[in-house]
Amino acid sequence: MSEATREAMEYDVVIVGAGPAGLSAAIRLKQLDESLEVVVLEKGSEVGAHILSGAVLDPSGLDALIPDWKDKGAPLNTPVTEDNFYMLGAAGRVRVPNWPMPPLMNNHGNYIVSMGNVCRWMAEQAEALGVEIFPGMSCSEMVYGESGEVRGVVAGEFGRNPDGTPGPNYEPGMELHGKYVFLSEGVRGSLSKEVIAKYDLASGVEPQKYGLGMKEIWEVDPDKHREGSVTHTMGWPLGKNAGGGSFIYHLENNQVYVGFVVHLNYENPHLYPYMEFQRFKHHPMVADLLKGAKRVAYGARAISEGGWQSMPKMVAPGVALLGCSVGMVNVPRIKGNHNAMLSGKAAAEAAHDAIKAGRASDELGAYEQDVREGAIGRDLKKVRNVKPLWSKFGLLTSLAVGGFDMWTNTAGFSLLGTLGHGKSDADATGKASDHTPIDYPRPDGKLSFDRLTNVSYSMTNHEESQPCHLRLGDPEVPTRVNLPQYAEPAQRYCPAGVYEVVQEEGSDPRFVINFQNCVHCKTCDIKDPSKNITWVTPQGGDGPNYPNM
């Protein structure tokens, strides 16, 4: 905690994060009572700058929040026209037919979107209702009351030296207090981690599971563009090394989203998720699509995959966790934005009722009940066994048994009950000596690219004079423990080239953190086998500046 003296501002509800959950909460609060004082604090340089998602959007969340979104110009311009599923081999593919898949896997009625642009539009709707939105305002600390309740957050602290001491232009920021604080930071948010630990909200639930999602935007030959086409693949190049797969979405303007997800519970520490993505683009199916095309953007983000059995308690005195701060992604559908919106709406309704009744800083139990018993719970409970089946039995078995389980859940029951996940993703990492190194081909500069070149397409920037926001619990662990035991996997699991082991002749190896490259994916906070890296928010406005992700 800082000892700085700060001014304080009072609000009814303080919302951290201008993603789909936070903005939905802000909009719903103002719909219910325009006199409520609501503020949204966003660490990105603008709303949408840090938003990265596939994304095929199920509009059910938007339908519930703003039923006339079409008339209001929401940027949902590309309805899905076809669904394709393929199992890939090194040189070929097998089409997985659509007919045996449960109805929930059908993308009819969904839209290919830029969630960054959807959030920008949602911010406009919120501001028109009177919501205050402050981009470039990182929330660095929680503020607690005398009884241990959440009272607010510290936002807008700037100007610390690399060693953490106040610099010559230090600004202490402000305390923003609220009757309730909503944390909608996305996956593995630093304040959400603190709150979950402080109030022991994850007690009795399965460990959260994660994937690493990497995405590029390509402008392709108009003759190869199929607006509205959605393709998902599994199998090659990951094989038995890791779970995961790809997505290829054709949106408007001859643009295509090409993405790849690697489940972070992989064992082989030699696995290099970013290079698996780059190798994937050399499959004949993908290489043909991208021949003569132009890559225009790159980014990466962790995805919460634990689902129903990994959701922590969502409320504590004065605070509620929204969206991916809880983990509301439907893994087989690769969709969570609709649930994030619904969670924001539910939290807003619970807070409105509480404030109207004269309450403040207590637990919003009605919000948690709505999530678990309402549309979000029904969506996640149906697919709760897909992820653990995949992790324990591999791709083919999980396709067959998981598909059957989804069908029975659609009918209202499951023969499997609720399966557990077991180890955390960090604990799943095996010893380097027990696994074979993987030889990855060098990027060709046409279809595949080195990490630093691609990171330049994320327009990431961090002020170098600030403290490193990637903190080591013990600075010696990377070279003393992780390097000899795990071949220091941070060199490979980071999709932005942040971590290096530098070996100079006549000296011991050094662990180098190039935090300027960080795209805020949080993978290091999740996958480090020694759990020695903690991601905290850098100063406001720093990080990626995604245009249309």
pLDDT tens per residue, range 31-90: 999 999 999 999 999 999 999 998 999 999 999 999 999 999 999 999 999 999 999 999
- Tell me the pLDDT tens digit for each residue of 264-300: 999 999 999 999 999 999 999 999 999 999 999 999 9
* pLDDT tens digits, one per residue of 368-407: 999 999 999 999 999 998 888 888 877 777 777 877 778 8
Token pair of 429, please?
């990492």
**DSSP reduced 3-state for 271:** coil
**Residue 102 clears pLDDT 80, i.e. is over it:** no
Enclosing H/E stretch for 64? helix 60-65
**What is the mean predicted confidence (pLDDT) over 409-437?**
91
Task: Report whether pLDDT(546) > 70.
Answer: yes
Averaged confidence pLDDT in the chain = 95
Nearest residue to 354 (alpha-carbon basis) of 84, 101, 33, 23: 33
- Residue 398: the pLDDT is 73
Can you give the pLDDT at residue 103? 80
Per-residue pLDDT at 205 exceeds 70: yes
Per the DSSP assignment, residues forming a β-bridge with 295 are 218
What is the residue type of 321? L
Is pLDDT above 60 for 231?
yes
pLDDT of residue 3: 59
CB of 300 closer than 8 Å to CB of 521 = yes
Provide CB contacts within 8 A for 67, sequence distance 6+. Answer: none
Q: Which of 470, 461, 467 is nearest to 490 (CA)?
A: 470
Residue 1 pLDDT > 50:
no
Question: In the predicted model, what is the mean pLDDT of residues 400-420?
Answer: 81
HSE-up of residue 38 (Cα within 13 Å, Cβ side): 30
The number of residues making up the chain comes to: 549
User: What's the whole-number mean pLDDT along residues 241-253?
Assistant: 96
CA distance 501 to 483: 9
Q: How does residue 510 score in pLDDT terms, banded at 50, 70 and 90? A: very high
